[in-house]
Amino acid sequence: MTRTSACRLSGSPLEVVLDLGQQPLGNGFLLPDEFSDEYFFSLQCGFSEASRLFQLMEQPAPERMFHQDYAFFSGTSRHMKQHFADFASDVIGKGFITDDSSFIVELGSNDGIFLSHFAQKGIPHLGVEPSGAVADVAESQGITVTREFFDTNLSRRIRDEHGQADVISAANVMCHIPGINELAQGISLLLKEDGVLIFEDPYLGDIIRLTSYDQIYDEHVFLFSALSVQSIFSAVGMELIDLQPQLTHGGSMRYTLAKSGRRAISPTVQVILDQELAQGLDKTETFIQFALRVRESGERLRSKMQQLRSQRKTIAAYGATSKSTTIYNYAGIGPDLIDYICDNTPLKQGKFSPGVHIPIFAEEHFRSHPPEYAFLAAWNHEKELRQHNKAFEDAGGRWITHVPDVHILD
Ligand code: SAH
Ligand code: TMP
C-alpha cells in the first residue's frame, strides 16, 4: 500500500477533493471463509493544479490487485471484442504498423483481446501482463506474453531483447500504474524515434459530466484528461498528436503520442484541450463541486432502492463490476437491498461482492429468477445488456441506473 500527500508526477501538494470512505478491492470477489480478513483501504482522491492530475491518495500494492486470479477478462463483452478489432484496424490503417517487421508492445494485454489481431497476421508483438489467468488465455491463442509489471527495467530488457517498438499500446491500464514518471521514461526508452504510443482510459471529462464516480476504485490510481497526459509526457519529450473520444467504459479517450516534432499534430488536440479548460479540468473547485454531486448521487440511489424495498419489490444487479464495488460500499447498499448480482465471468460466479457481500450467480439465474428491478451495474454495456435481456423488460422488469442521475430507464 502506498499513501501520498504529494502529486505522483509533480511532487506538489495534493488537495483532498473527494472521500469515498473505506473500500475493499474493486475486483476482490471472495468466498465466505475470506470475509473475516478482507482488505480495506481509504479511497480518497486528490487533485494537483500543477500537473492537472486527479489521483488516489492511497493505493493498494499492485500485487494485491493483479495476480493469478485477477477476475477481469476483457473478452466477456462482445461489444469490447468488436471495439478492439476496430482499434487494431485503426492502428494498421494509419500506417503505424507497416509490415511484418514492425513490432508492437501492449501493456496490460489481459486475455489477448487486442494483440490477437496482430498475432493472427504474424506481426511481431509482445504483451506485458502480470495477471496469470488472463495471460493463460492469451497464450493459448498463440500470443507472446511476458508476465511482469511494466517499468523502466523491463522496458530496457524488452529493448535489448527485441529492439525498439513501432507502437506501444495500452487500454485501461496506464491509469493503473502509480509510478507515472518511470512509466513515461520506460515508454520513451522503448519507442522508436518515429514510433507512437496509443492508449485509452476512462476519461475524466466524462466522469465529471456524468457524475460516474464508480470509475474511482483501487486500480484507477489516476483518471486522466488530455491536459494531464500532456503534463506527463512533455517531461520525456513526447507530445499529443491525436485525441479520439470513445464510448467504451462509459466514456473514454484514446490518446496518441509521438516524440516531439516527429509527427503532424491533429487540430482535434487543441480543440479538446480548450474544451477541458472550459470544463474546468485544471481547477480544484471543479472537483469539489463534483464531490457534492457524488454525495447526492449515492444518497439518491440508496433511498430509491429503500423505497422500492418498502414496497416489497425485488431488486438484483446486472454485472459484478469493479465499478459497482465503489457504489455499494460508499452508499451502503448491501444484500438487504440487492438480492443477488448476475455476471457471465465464471471466476466471479459462486463468490460474493467485495465489502458488502452480495452473492453472485451466472446470468441464467437472472432469467430463472427475474427481479422486478435490476440495477445496471455494468451501465457502460447498457446496449448489449438490454439486447440480451429483452425478455426481462417484456415481462415488466425495469432497469435502475445512476448515470447521469439516479432514475428508472424507459
Ligand atoms: N487492456 C485490457 C485489460 C484492462 S485491465 C482491456 O482494456 O480490456 C488492466 C490489465 O492491466 C490487467 O490485466 C492487469 O493485470 C494489467 N496490469 C496492471 N498493472 C500493469 C503493469 N504495471 N504493467 C502491465 N500490465 C499491468
Ligand atoms: P466492466 O464494466 O468493467 O467492463 O465489467 C462488466 C462486467 O459485466 C463483467 O464482469 C462481465 C459482465 N457482463 C455480463 O455479465 N454480461 C454481459 O452481457 C456483459 C456485456 C458483461
**Residue 1 in this model has a pLDDT that exceeds 80:** no
Nearest CA residue ID for atom 10, ligand 1: 108
Tell whether 295 is covered by a domain. Answer: no
Residues 38 and 175 in one domain: no
Q: Are both 261 and 358 inside the same structural domain? A: no
Q: Domain of 387: which CATH number?
A: 3.40.50.720
Give the closest ligand to the alpha carbon of residue 362: 2
Closest CA to 83 of 110, 107, 122, 117: 117
Same domain flag for 123 and 260: yes
C-alpha cell at 298: 449515492
- Judge if 81 and 118 occupy the same domain: yes
Decide: 26 in ligand 1 pocket, CB within 6 A.
Answer: no
- CA 356 to centroid of ligand 2, rounded, Å: 19
d(CA 362, CA 403): 25
| Boundary residue ending a domain (17, 43, 58) | 58
Instruction: Report the alpha-carbon distance of residue 176 to residue 389 in Å, rounded.
Output: 32
**Pair 35, 126 in one domain:** no
What is the reported pLDDT for 176? 97
What is the structure's pLDDT at 364? 97
Residue of the CA atom closest to atom 20 of ligand 2: 77
Q: Same domain, yes or no, for 72 and 96? A: yes
CA 289 to chain centroid? 23
Please give the average per-residue pLDDT across 191-220, as a whole number. Answer: 98
Choose one of 285, 314, 337: the last residue of a domain: 285
DSSP 184: H
C-alpha cell at 108: 496490460
Task: Give nearest CA residue, ligand 2 atom 1.
Answer: 321
Closest to 232 measured CA to CA, from 267, 190, 262, 197: 197
Let me know whether 54 and 74 are in one domain: no
Residue 401 phi/psi, 5° resolution? Answer: -130, 165
180 pocket-lining for ligand 1 (C-beta < 6 Å): no
Looking at residue 251, what is its pLDDT? 98
Query: Are residues 153 and 74 part of one domain?
Result: yes
Whether residue 17 is predicted with pLDDT greater than 80 in this model: the reply is yes
Strands 341-342 and 360-361, sheet pairing: parallel
In a domain, 294, yes or no: no
Residues 329, 398, single domain; the answer is yes
pTM (predicted TM-score):
0.96
Pocket of ligand 2 (CB under 6 A): 76-77, 319-323, 343-345, 363, 378, 380-381, 384-385, 388
- Whole-number pLDDT of residue 44: 98
Q: Is the peptide bond before 404 cis (omega within 30 degrees of 0)?
A: yes
Average pLDDT rounded to a whole number, residues 222-243? 98
Distance from Cα 52 to the centre of ligand 1, integer Å: 23
Q: 244: domain CATH number?
A: 3.40.50.150
391 occurs within a structural domain: yes
Do 34 and 73 sit in the same domain of this protein? no
Query: Counting atoms of ligand 2 from 1, which one is nearest the CA of 385?
Result: 18
Q: Is 110 in the pocket of ligand 1 (CB under 6 A)?
A: yes
- For residue 327, give its domain range: 302-408
Same structural domain, 215 and 110: yes
Read off the pLDDT of residues 48-87 as tens digits, 9 standing for 90 and up.
999 999 999 999 999 999 999 999 999 999 999 999 999 9
With beta carbons less than 8 A apart as the criterion, state whether 398 and 371 touch. no
Q: Identify which of 349, 358, 381, 389 to mutate to test ligand 2's pocket (most ligand atoms within 8 A of the CB).
A: 381
Separation between Cα atoms, residue 221 and residue 384, nearest integer Å = 28
Residues 139 and 223 in one domain: yes
